[in-house]
Amino acid sequence: MKVVVITGNLNRPSKTRAVADYVVDRARASGDEAISWDLVQLHPHLGAAIWPANAAEIVKAALDDVATCDVLIVGSPVYKASYTGLLKHLFDLLDMRALKGRYVIPFATGKSPPHGPLVEASMRALFDFFDAQVSDNFIFALDEDFDEAGLSANLRALVDKELDTARRAVSP
Ligand SMILES: Cc1cc2nc3c(=O)[nH]c(=O)nc-3n(C[C@H](O)[C@H](O)[C@H](O)COP(=O)(O)O)c2cc1C
């Protein structure tokens, strides 16, 4: 299956990107095709794109990967109680039929536990708009879910479980 990870981090190193890198490693280890895009790669072209047709090639490539995935994993750092604004802009450029029926795993990283459900609700609203099949679970990772080595064992287990569920959901 083709696994595409989109993350809304604007910095590196990034906890959100660390989750994305872990997903890519796990997916490839299972024989999947896996690719990851973050906003650091797409800056400054994403913000400069008003319409998909005149977007830079790198933005079109990211949109094309989203539109051709079997499983989409979307994560963001929490900024001001939501996912990052530029991440929304990427999905604003996406054709409204592109995610119909596709399996989406949402997640976020943040510092304030009460903000997890807020980001979950806004991400669910976005992917419900696209008529995607959104995982029942939402991963909200706090600072204590990371250490110098990267993701904690607990966070890795949550991600592994989500990937297994997604694989079963999209397998013929
Ligand atoms: C501009 C800005 C706004 C933030 N707003 C929130 C917030 O509203 N709620 C929260 O829990 N964390 C907030 N944070 C903290 C980040 O979500 C948190 O540190 C996150 O894990 C950073 O992810 P990254 O390492 O991928 O950039 C904010 C951080 C920044 C830089």
Judged against a pLDDT cut of 90, whether residue 26 lies above it is answered with yes
pLDDT band (50, 70, 90) for residue 97: very high
Which residue's alpha carbon is at the smallest distance from atom 25 of ligand 1? Answer: 14
Q: What is the pTM of this model?
A: 0.98
For a mutational test of ligand 1's pocket, the pick from 79, 87, 122, 123, i.e. the residue with the most ligand atoms closer than 8 A to its C-beta, is 79
30 C-beta closer than 6 A to ligand 1: no
Q: Which domains does the chain have, with CATH numbers?
A: 2-170 (3.40.50.360)
In the predicted structure, residue 43 carries a pLDDT above the cut 90: yes
Position 172 scores a pLDDT of 78
Distance between first and last Cα of the chain: 11
Q: Flag whether pLDDT at 9 surpasses 90.
A: yes
Percent of the chain at pLDDT exceeding 70: 100
Amino acid at 130: F
The per-residue pLDDT for range 110-156, each reduced to its tens digit, is 999 999 999 999 999 999 999 999 999 999 999 999 999 999 999 99
For residue 112 and ligand 1, the question of a CB distance below 6 A is answered with yes
Residue nearest to atom 24 of ligand 1 (CA): 14
Handedness of CA 108, 112, 113, 114 (dihedral sign): negative
Tokens of residue 27, six digits:
């997916």
Residue 121, C-beta contacts closer than 8 angstroms, at least 6 positions apart = none
Are 124 and 106 in contact by the 8 Å Cβ rule? The answer is: yes
To test the pocket of ligand 1, the residue of 111, 122, 144, 152 to mutate (highest count of ligand atoms within 8 Å of its CB) is 111
Distance CA 29, CA 23 (A): 10
Distance CA 14, CA 66 (A): 21
Compute the distance from residue 9 Cα to the ligand 1 centre, in Å. Answer: 9
pLDDT of 16 strictly over 90 = yes
Residue 142 neighbours by CB distance under 10 Å: 17
